[in-house]
Structure 1
């Protein structure tokens, strides 16, 4: 195992990456975060900056237009971005982990050649069409269908809550669909749908509680026709393959959540030093100091958990349980810290221009997306033999 991931002593290249993204987050992302949040606008200029830095290509080989790094490098970037703007962080996470990674993991040479350079280069975004209305956590209840007709897949159905699916640079949506029946059960496959394709529609964006600068749409498919060669991976393995993608993605979401939790600590420390009440800085009061201490402990625990899961993943060892633990611990740390940070800030914590207010609204979805808290508990219970 990469023991440095467990000990927290990172090699220079990882430390330099984290510092570079941290500087970008503070100088480029943070100044426009409140504006994009208030306007519910997609931060194209920020995404272009991340693309120029190579962040969308971090875990991919150079031969496919990537940076030749690994998944842990992506996680470090997500943690730094998550400190200041979860919308930007989830745009990167979904673009890499959900948009490009399925093509990299399961695509043919031709599919990789066509899609990976532009996805890894950040010139295009891909989306992951799994969740459906009425399905939610029960992804196996897929109702979207894809039938072969004269060498083409004909897709009909709908998806919901799909990130990066309706931007001006969205070029690909990977869709899970029922392609038949096998052993009395639904045969679920995954199919690449280029954007635009006749019959495919990204419906109007959702009015969300948080992640307001992240692009999220319901999708509809009305006799969408794509070539038979657009099957991604083995026929009938679509659901299983996407579960593998979700296992990896939980480590990334844990990293993002850790960033959010740490961002709440950082903002609270700064505020507690500056804000005075009854003649002294509020950080001198034990109630405030102890609250922030607990927040720091949560962030540290979350970081340790996702480092451990990432180390196992990079070592090629089983990591399903550790990924679920990391996602559980980190998402709860983000939500708990956001609540405490808002309380520490008092009335200012209720104002949307303050980072902690955005974290308060943004963090709840971390306990829901890419597997709810209850799903993580179920996975952990199974892994320990229950």
Structure 2
């Protein structure tokens, strides 16, 4: 089965297993946090998981751009999801205490607006309004405290890669290149490990007073932190106004990020090299996010050939392993009931392992709930692999959804 067909299977499976109306309201869509769906309406709904679900829908619509009716159907689903997120947030997408959550949604909303322009010739007003509101909130989290960077949440006691990296990428895409440079500079100065070529998690404010701040660095490593930094470096390199020397420096740093991610987050399995994953919950998304930006690196014509090849091998290796380890079922009511994968899925739905090094049947107990995060991660990886088969379109800091 081709990479686009695999991505289609993942898209259909997530739609069938998890999608439903937000609070039962027609014209909306929201991903259930797990399958089977929790019965309580007060169960956590995970704003930022929905943001990555929206990103995956944009990926799928772009993949079907040569089939206008199919692309339009997916685009409408994406807008239903944005309405669902807005409704579930109490009527405002900015009703959130976490700047990283809002930065992820801003990136997805920006791509959706670009998709609207590509497919319909105009952007949706509600989509543009959401983007403007999210950008304004994120800019309030970007302060001079702790030397720069973006706060993690409204308590303003942590600045981390998880918020600063997607914010930097959002600043590039909204033509705020000086803000993007400032945030990237802060990340490199405070959280970059030059030996391992990865980013530590964050800087924690321990105490403040008398004009001084005492901080502690959180040295945990998570795969997703390398992803949006990589995207920001690549897109800033291609942004109007970036000089030749600066562009070469940015692309060189991007190659270092790819090499560091491969060493820190890659691991061998028989016949291929795959990304390490971080279990379920929020961690169930992490390596899908990294794969998205590794695919962007693999397709960039001016990135060093070694980095491009390394990035592509990690994406395709992880996609192949997830596909080989999937579990199939004939209906959404029995995700654990399928047998061995068939050559073609037909109408079956697939459940993917949270760990590409283990088949789904081993990594997930039969009958246990399947989390949305792990399935969106797999879908994102499979879309990234499908994207490697498409020609480079020169997507930089402009308005293209193909990023």
Same fold (TM over 0.5): no
Query: What TM-score, normalized to structure 2?
Result: 0.28
Query: What TM-score, normalized to structure 1?
Result: 0.29
Higher-Rg structure is: 1
